[in-house]
Structure 1
Amino acid sequence: MSAPTPATYVFKKVDGVEIKADVYLPSSASALPAPILVWFHGGGLLQGSRRTPAPHMKRAVDKYGLALVSLDYRLAPQAALPTILEDVRDGIKWTREELPGLLGEGKVDPSRLAVSGSSAGGYICLLSGLPISGVSPPPKVLLPIYPITDSLGPFFVTPQRPVKYSEDGYIYTDEDMKVHRDPNSQLLSETFAVRTPGVPLPRDHRQNFYTYMVQEGNLSQLLFAKAPGVDPADYAVAKLVQKDMPPTYIVHGDADQHVGLEQAHEVVNAMIKAGTVFEFEQPAGEPHGYDGREEVDMEKMYDFLLKYL
C-alpha cells in the first residue's frame, strides 16, 4: 500500500515564523468524511518536523480511513512550553474550524478528532487532553507513543557522559550547541535533515540538540528558559491526570534509551489511581522509535482508536 501524498498548509504565522500542517486524506471516497488523527513529532520539543510520521501512521490513512494532520510547533528554548501549547491549541482549533472548508464539504469529520504524538510529541499529545492545554473540547482519544511526561523525571535530570545510545561516545560541548541553546537565537518551527547512511551530521547541527540535552540533563531548563516564572513541575502529566480525560493508549518499549520508561509508568500509575480509561502496551526489547520500522503496524493502538473515536 503506497503512502498518500500530503497537502501542506500554513495554519499560523507568529513573529515572522510560518507554522505548517501536512494533511493526508484517504484515497477512497467511501472513507469520507474521515475522522481526524492529529500527530505531533518528537525531538524533545527542541528539534524535529511534521514531515516524519512513521510508516504505520501514513498507511493508517487508507487502512483505517483516517485523515492524518501532522502539525509543527515552535521549538524550545526559543519558545517555552506554555508557548508551544499555544501552537498545539491553535493547530487543533484550525484543524477543526478551518481545514474542513479548505478541503471542501464532506472530506473530514471534525467532531471525531483524536491526537497522537511520538516522544516529545507524546508529551503534548497527553497535555492536549488536559485542561492545562486549553484545547476545548478535548480530543476524543489520546495515543502517546513512548512519551516524555515530566521534564523533572530522573531520566531528564541525570547527565549522561557519554549518552548511552551514542554510537561514538562523543561529548558535545557548549560551543557545539551555542546557537541552539541560546533562548534568544532565531525562532524555529521545525528542523529537518536528510541523513546519508554512514555520514554523521556536523557536531553543531540542530538535530544533535536532543542528545546534548540528554548528556547535560537539562530538559526543564531548556523548555522553560523563556518562562522563568513557571514551575516545570506544574507540567508533569502524572500530577494532571484525571478520571474524565480522554481514553488513552500509551505504548513504550522496555529497551528505550532515549526516554526513560519510568516516564510512562508514572502516568500509568496515576491513571490507575484516577480510574482513567486507558491501555498500556510495553513491547519487550523494543527501543525508542521502533515503530519507524516498515513492518510495525501498531494494530492494537489503532483498534483502541477506532473503539473510542
Structure 2
Amino acid sequence: MSTSTPTTYVFKKVGDLEIKADIYLPSSPTALPAPILVWWHGGGLILGSRAWNVPHRMRAVDKYGLAIVGLDYRLAPQASLPEILEDVRDGVKWVREELPRLLGPGKVDPTRLATSGNSAGGYLCLLSGLPISGITPPPKALLPIYPITDPLGPFFLTPQRPVKYSEDGYIFTDEDMKVHRDPNSTLLSESFEPFVPGKPFPHNHRMNFYTYMVQEANLAQILFAKAPGVNPEDYAVAKLVTKDMPPTYIVHGDADQHVGLEQTHEVVNAMIKSGATYEFEQPAGEPHGYDAREEVELEKMYDFLFQYL
C-alpha cells in the first residue's frame, strides 16, 4: 500500500449513501502494527472530502509510522450536526473494530488511536474527545488545527458583505445557494472539486457555500436545520471541556480570516480553567489553510501526539 494511494472502504451506509474511509499505512514493516490517527476534513461541515490531504499529514505516514485514516461524514444542512456526530462515532468504532480485521493481523494497533482535523474537521476532532460524541474509550489525544469550536461564536454571528477574504467582492445570493441550503436536497457525504488556478468556481457551486455562510453568518441554522429541537449552545466546545478530556494540541494562526481566532481562544481559556492537558500554538501571520504549504511540518504537534499515543 503506497502512502500516496489509499485503500478505500465504505464504513457506513445511510440509505443508498455510502460513507467512505481512506487508509494510508506506513511502507516499512518495522513500523507495524501502526498507531492510528483518524482525520476529518474541513469545509464548515457543509462541503469537502476525505481526499483533502496536505503534505505534512501524508509525510507523517512514513516519517512517524502512523496509519492515517481519513473519514467522510454526511454534510449539512442535509444532515444535522447530531447526525454528523453519529458518523464520527460510527467511524471511530469501525476503525477500532473492523479495520484491523480488514487489513489483516499486525497492521494497525486500535488501542493507540488519536484524532485530528482542520477547520470543521478540527471541530469534530474536539467533539470526538468529549462525552457528547459517545466515543468510548475516548481517543488518546486530540490534534485540532484552526478549529471551529462554536457555531454561535462572534465570528459566525457577524455577517460580512462581502467576506474579508473575497477577491472580487461578490455577494452570494440565496438563489445562488438555493440547492445547497435546502435541507431536503440530495444527501451528500463528500463534495469536492479540485481547484484550477485562474478558473473560479461558478457562483452557484457548493465550493462557494462556505463563503456564503460566512457572508450571511448562518452556520448554526445550517448545522441544525434538520434538528429543530436541538440547542446549538450545547455544541460549544468551551462549555464541554473537562479536566479529564484527552490531551489536546491546538494550532491556529493569528491571520485566519475563515475561522475567527477567538474560537480557539475560548476553548484554550476553558482548558486553563478546568486544568485540562493541552498545548496551544499560534503561528504569527499564518492564515487559514497554511498547513497545506509544502514546507509546513507541524513537528511540535506530532511530538505532542507521541507523548500520549
Q: Give the TM-score band, short-chain normalised.
A: over 0.9
Q: Which residue of 1 aligns with 2:171?
A: 171
Q: Which residue of 2 aligns with 1:57?
A: 57
Q: Which residue of 1 aligns with 2:255?
A: 255
Structure 1 unmatched runs, 5+: none
Q: Which residue of 1 aligns with 2:303?
A: 303
Q: Which residue of 2 aligns with 1:74?
A: 74
Q: Deviation of residue 96 (structure 1)?
A: 0.3
Equivalent residue letter for 1:214: V
Q: Which residue of 2 aligns with 1:11?
A: 11
SS at match of 1:127: helix
**Identity rate, percent:** 80
In 1, the alpha carbon distance for the partners of 2:15 and 2:266 equals 36
Query: CA offsets, 1:176-203, max 9 Å, x none?
Result: 0000000000000000102210000111
Q: Which residue of 2 aligns with 1:183?
A: 183
Equivalent residue letter for 1:93: K
Q: Which residue of 2 aligns with 1:138?
A: 138
In 2, the alpha carbon distance for the partners of 1:94 and 1:259 equals 30
Query: CA offsets, 1:253-279, max 9 Å, x none?
Result: 000000000000000000000000000
C-alpha contact (below 8 Å) 1:4/1:26 kept by paired residues = no
Query: CA offsets, 1:69-98, max 9 Å, x none?
Result: 000000000000000000000000000000
In 2, the alpha carbon distance for the partners of 1:229 and 1:189 equals 23
SS at match of 2:69: strand
Q: Deviation of residue 3 (structure 1)?
A: 4.6
Q: How does 1:1-309 map to 2 (within 5 A)?
A: 3-309=3-309
Query: CA offsets, 1:81-126, max 9 Å, x none?
Result: 0000000000000000000010010000000000001000000100
In 2, the alpha carbon distance for the partners of 1:19 and 1:187 equals 11
SS at match of 2:77: coil
Equivalent residue letter for 1:267: V
In 2, the alpha carbon distance for the partners of 1:263 and 1:43 equals 16
Task: Give the RMSD, CA atoms, in angstroms.
Answer: 0.7
Corresponding pairs, count: 308
In 1, the alpha carbon distance for the partners of 2:81 and 2:10 equals 21
Q: Deviation of residue 15 (structure 1)?
A: 2.0
In 1, the alpha carbon distance for the partners of 2:237 and 2:196 equals 36
In 1, the alpha carbon distance for the partners of 2:177 and 2:259 equals 21
Q: Deviation of residue 4 (structure 1)?
A: 2.8
Q: Deviation of residue 175 (structure 1)?
A: 0.4
In 1, the alpha carbon distance for the partners of 2:67 and 2:282 equals 27
Q: Deviation of residue 135 (structure 1)?
A: 0.7
Query: CA offsets, 1:120-175, max 9 Å, x none?
Result: 00001000000000011100000000000000000001000000001111000000
In 1, the alpha carbon distance for the partners of 2:4 and 2:77 equals 33
TM-score w.r.t. structure 1 length? 0.99
